[in-house]
Amino acid sequence: MTLAEMQFQMPDLRLASAEIFMLLMACLILILDLFVKDRKRTVTFVATQLTLIGAAVVTFATSSGEIAYTFSNMYVGDLMGDLLKLLLYLTVIVVLFYSRGYILEREQMARGEYYSLVLFATLGMMVMISANHLVTVYIGLELLSLSLYALVAMNRDSVPATEAAMKFFVLGALASGLLLYGMSMIYGATGTLEITTIAERLYTGQADKSILVFGLVFLVSGLAFKLGVVPFHMWIPDVYHGAPTAVTLFIATAPKLAAFAMVIRLLVNGLIVLAQDWQTMLILLSVLSMAIGNIAAIAQTNLKRMLAYSAISHMGFMLLGMVTGVVGGDARFALNAYSSSMFYVITYVLTSAGTFGMILLLARGGLESDELEDFKGLNKRSPWFAAVMMMMMFSMAGVPFFVGFFAKFSVLQAVVAAGYLWLAIVAVLFSLIGCFYYLRVVKIMYFDQPTNTAPIVAPMDMKILMSANGLAVALLGIFPQALMSLCAFSLLRSL
């Protein structure tokens, strides 16, 4: 290669303008915060929210609906990515509103770094969503993970939080190692790190299958860790439980969207030819997750821990949609299956945000409110918020008319369509077991007498948002069509 051929080519920055905007703003806010004297850091808070709104505007404005690559094919812009990013901003905005009261009451957390870290994590997720290169995936993932480690540890004086951060970091590093090892194997077999090129080379059969499958095992293990499915779930309960609730809320929502995108990018965009192999692995992960997640959740007395196990089972259920895309080499069902998974993960994020938001709503005066006992007799204290929490619980249990039902419905439909009837039976039986602990939360709120009769004090914005969240769970449960077709359409234009 001569020097003339190595000319620097300016990449098309327009495609990645949302990421660039986010990076600039995150750095700016870091500096801006140095000059904020206000203990409540209202300026930082507002600037962060405006950044997210600005990113949404940029993403919306630059979305072409076509698949386009830039940065030497390391970055892809497509409709699925744009949709997930818009939902990501929305989730983060909601998370910040829910967390505000909680972090203001904790001195260690009420700092500008909180907002910058959240923005950097968001940037990491945006990079993951738009990655078309194994290194890009990894960079995005690490940016997210490192920000999250710091967020979990932010409440420095809290022993459980520090312990959780340590566990999260050690296990996260291990998972990153697994992922990198898998990536290197795939590089060895195909000679490229570009996801679309990997797919081409696999398709034309220019790759050594045995090395590939070997690498795939590590790749799937790394993904499973990030999704938090059994047997790579160990960190989830400890981190969810130990982290400050505001951070748990963040971990339990937005990264699920990014993890879903990562699964699509790596397994579907890159390794669809190996679908039979990774589907078999995912079936195992999925069934184990539903089993262990649902059964272990029954034994929990801490709501955050219970929801952690519930998250494991939900991610297992979500994976059911991913395993039914290709049946015997026939990809007819792919769109139906993957869009059902996407719908599932989006509705899960919506419900999860509401549930953790409710824990934050009840936590006041520097005290946590994350034990199941704390919800005793909520119906007496506030019928409306008890009803909102009840809607969340029934939605997670998959009872109509709440959106969780249609999420389960669409995934099960994909499973039955692909002919995996036994898998569907396993899934519904574990959902039945899972129903028990969601019902128990309803029981605690409605059938038990309150031990604490203090009325619920919360800022008006949070109350409004919480109510909107509850209504969204109910309304999407009655009119799921729009979101369902949005998922299907965006995937259709992106695969």
Partner 1 sequence: MSGTPLLSLAIWVPILAGFVVLATGSDRNAPLARMLSLIGAVAGLLVTIPLYTGFDMRTPAMQFVELATWIPRFNVNYHLGVDGISMPFVILNSFITVTVVLAGWQVIDNKVAQYNAGFLIMSGLLNGIFSALDGVLFYVFFEASLIPLYLIIGIWGGPNRVYAAFKFFLFTLFGSLLFLLALLYLFINSGGSFAILDWHQLPIGMSAQTWLFLAFLVAFAVKVPMWPVHTWLPDAHVEAPTGGSIVLAAIALKLGAYGFLRFSLPIAPDASHELSGLVIALSLIAIIYIGFVALVQEDMKKLVAYSSIAHMGFVTLGFFMFSAMGIEGALVQMISHGFVSGAMFFAIGVMYDRAHSRQIADYGGVVNTMPKFAAFFMLFAMANAGLPATSGFVGEFMVILAAVDYNFWVAFAAASTMIVGAAYTLWMYKRVVFGAVANHHVADLTDINAREFLVFVLFAIGALGMGLYPQPFTEVMHSSVNELLRHVALSKIQ
For residue 121, the one-letter residue type is A
Q: Decide: residue 77, CB within 10 A, 0-12 exposed, 13-18 middle, 19+ buried.
A: buried
> Does 394 interact with partner 1 (rule: CB under 8 A)?
yes
191 binds partner 1 (CB under 8 A): no
Whether 310 contacts 292, CB under 8 Å: no
Among residues 24, 53, 432, 456, which is the contact residue for partner 1, using CB under 8 A?
Answer: 432
Exactly one of 211, 413, 463, 492 binds partner 1 (CB under 8 A); that residue is: 413
With respect to partner 1, which residue has the nearer C-beta, 253 or 339? 339
Taking CB under 8 A as the binding criterion, the range among 31-39, 182-190, 233-241, 400-408 that sits at the site for partner 1 is: 400-408
Which one of residues 378, 399, 403, 407 is an interface residue with partner 1 (CB under 8 A)?
399
Rule CB under 8 A: is residue 492 a binding residue for partner 1? no
Residue 446 as a binder of partner 1 (CB under 8 A): the answer is yes
Query: Does residue 435 interact with partner 1 by CB under 8 A?
Result: yes
Binding flag, residue 424, partner 1 (CB under 8 A): yes
Q: Which is nearer to partner 1, 362 or 488 (CB)?
A: 488
Sign of the C-alpha dihedral computed for residues 280, 405, 84 and 414 taken in this order: positive
DSSP 330: B
Q: Is 481 one of the binding residues for partner 1 (CB under 8 A)?
A: yes
Check residue 43 for interaction with partner 1 (CB under 8 A). no
Q: What are phi and psi of 134, to 5 degrees?
A: -60, -35
One DSSP character per residue, 187-240 reads: HHHHS--BHHHHHHHHHTT-S-HHHHHHHHHHHHHHHHHHHT-TTS-THHHHHH
User: 1 by DSSP, 3-state: which?
Assistant: coil
> Look-up: residue for tokens 């497509």?
78
Residue 282 CB, shortest distance to partner 1, in Å, is 20
Which part of the chain contacts partner 1 (CB under 8 A), choosing from 13-21, 163-171, 239-247, 426-434?
426-434
Residue-wise DSSP of 141-172: HHHHHHHHHHHHTTSTT-HHHHHHHHHHHHHH
Does residue number 456 form part of the binding site for partner 1 (CB under 8 A)?
Answer: no
Task: By CB under 8 A, tell whether 302 contacts partner 1.
Answer: no
Query: Which ranges of 10-155 does DSSP label H, i.e. alpha helix?
Result: 17-32, 42-62, 79-104, 112-129, 134-152
Smallest CA-to-CA distance from 191 within 206, 170, 176, 169 is with: 206
Going by the DSSP 8-state scheme, the letter that residue 377 receives in this structure is T
Least distance in angstroms from the C-beta of 421 to partner 1? 7
Of the candidate residues 131, 405, 469, 494, the single one contacting partner 1 (CB under 8 A): 405
Which residues in this chain contact partner 1 in the complex, by CB under 8 A?
379, 383, 394, 399-401, 405-406, 409-410, 412-413, 416-417, 421, 424-425, 428-429, 431-432, 435-436, 439, 442-443, 446-447, 480-481, 484-485, 488
